[in-house]
Amino acid sequence: MTAVEQYLKPEVIRQVSRLDLRAQFIVKGFLQGLHASPFHGFSVEFSEHRKYTPGDDPQDLDWLVFAKTDKYYVKKYEAETNITGYLVMDLSRSMGYSLQEQLTKFDYAICLAAALCYLMISQQDPVGLITFDEKVNQCLAPKSKRTQIGNVLAVLANLKPTGQTDLERSLNQVVALLRHRSLVMLFSDLLGDREATMRALHRLRHAGHDVILFHILDEAEVNFPFNGQIEFEDPESGERIEVDASGYRADYLQEIEAFREWFRQQCVQAGIDYVPLDTSMRFDKALIEYLANRRARG
């Protein structure tokens, strides 16, 4: 691993205080890593051609590509190559949880969203930002200019995960807000009514939008590193419960696995990209998902 790729590790990024630097380091580490991946040569320049189909204007044929490949390709227009992306951030209080006092789920989501903003703007893709708890709070219109990075990061840096959450209501509002086909990138721990959440995600898909669901949990929520009698508190309701952690571990791990697997299966059926993450994972897993989605639409 190169020195630059170290910046894909949450424990390294945590030591960088400024969000703009965090995002730049993550993207640099990501692009560096791409050179040793199946995406080699695909890091910044995405395909600008598509196969010729009947009805295309023959004048748009790229004869240089034909000379190299013996196949007919047409140059894409900007409207075909660019996608509009929305970073959709869950501000629920539960997103602020961290056992180790490292990056909270929310910190992790913010770093990831900031890096994706850099990546999208580098592709000249318009990117916007929507925040929600019980309802949509802020909506920053998508733009592709470099100045949009500052606009998005200024909002992200000041967000606080303090609210109750209503994923279904908020995502229904997102559906109503979006006028054109977009790529919706949702960052959430999905701690709510999962059936209601999936209903809203289906509405997003039905409206023609592509969706990447970044399901972010704390490392402790995934691994359950507790022993003995432990008191847990629901971060949103404040309700407390005491359990014997050692006796409860096997059941808990089974439940959390079933929770993620349920969303994975539902998302596969709905044509949604489901990306399970925890706060110990390198950031490139999530960025590769964006890249693959971007490529599939190209």
- Listed in sequence order, the residues at least 6 apart from 59 whose beta carbon sits closer than 8 Å to its beta carbon are none
Q: Which of 100, 294, 92 is nearest to 212 (CA)?
A: 294
Mean pLDDT of 6-13: 81
First to last CA, the chain: 30
Is 99's pLDDT higher than 60? yes
Q: How far is CA 285 from CA 109, 112, 144, 214, in A?
A: 13, 10, 24, 10
Task: Look up the pTM and report it.
Answer: 0.81
Residue 41 Cα distances to 10, 32, 72, 133, angstroms? 26, 11, 22, 40
Which of 228, 233, 255 lies closest to 244, judged by CA?
228
**What is the C-alpha to C-alpha distance for residues 116 and 279, in angstroms, rounded to an integer?**
17
Model confidence at 75, pLDDT cuts 50, 70, 90, reads: low
* Residue 297: per-residue pLDDT: 57
Residues 149-153, mean pLDDT to the nearest whole number: 95
Please, which pLDDT band fits residue 241 given cuts at 50, 70 and 90?
A: confident
State the pLDDT at residue 70. 66
* 18-to-106, 147, 207, 274, 276 alpha-carbon distances in Å: 15, 17, 37, 29, 26
Q: How confident is the model at residue 267 (pLDDT cuts 50, 70, 90)?
A: very high
**For the packed helices 147-157 and 19-34, what is the interaxial angle rounded to 10 degrees?**
120
β-sheet bridge partners, residue 140: 129
Taking 60 as the threshold, does the pLDDT of residue 4 lie above it? Answer: yes
Predicted pLDDT of residue 68: 62
Domains of the chain, earliest start first: 49-78 (no CATH), 83-297 (3.40.50.410)
pLDDT of residue 105: 95
Tell me the average pLDDT across 64-88: 69
pLDDT tens figures, 180-233 = 999 999 999 999 899 999 999 999 999 999 999 999 999 999 998 888 887 777
Confidence (pLDDT) at 34: 65
Percent of the chain with pLDDT over 90: 49
Q: Which two tokens stand for residue 178?
A: 């979006």
Q: Which of 172, 185, 183 has its CA nearest to residue 209?
A: 183
Percent of the chain scoring above 70 in pLDDT: 79
CA separation for the pair 296, 298 (Å, rounded) = 5
Query: DSSP string covering 2-23, please?
Result: -TGGGGGSHHHHTT---HHHHH
pLDDT at 40: 42
* Residue 238 DSSP symbol: -
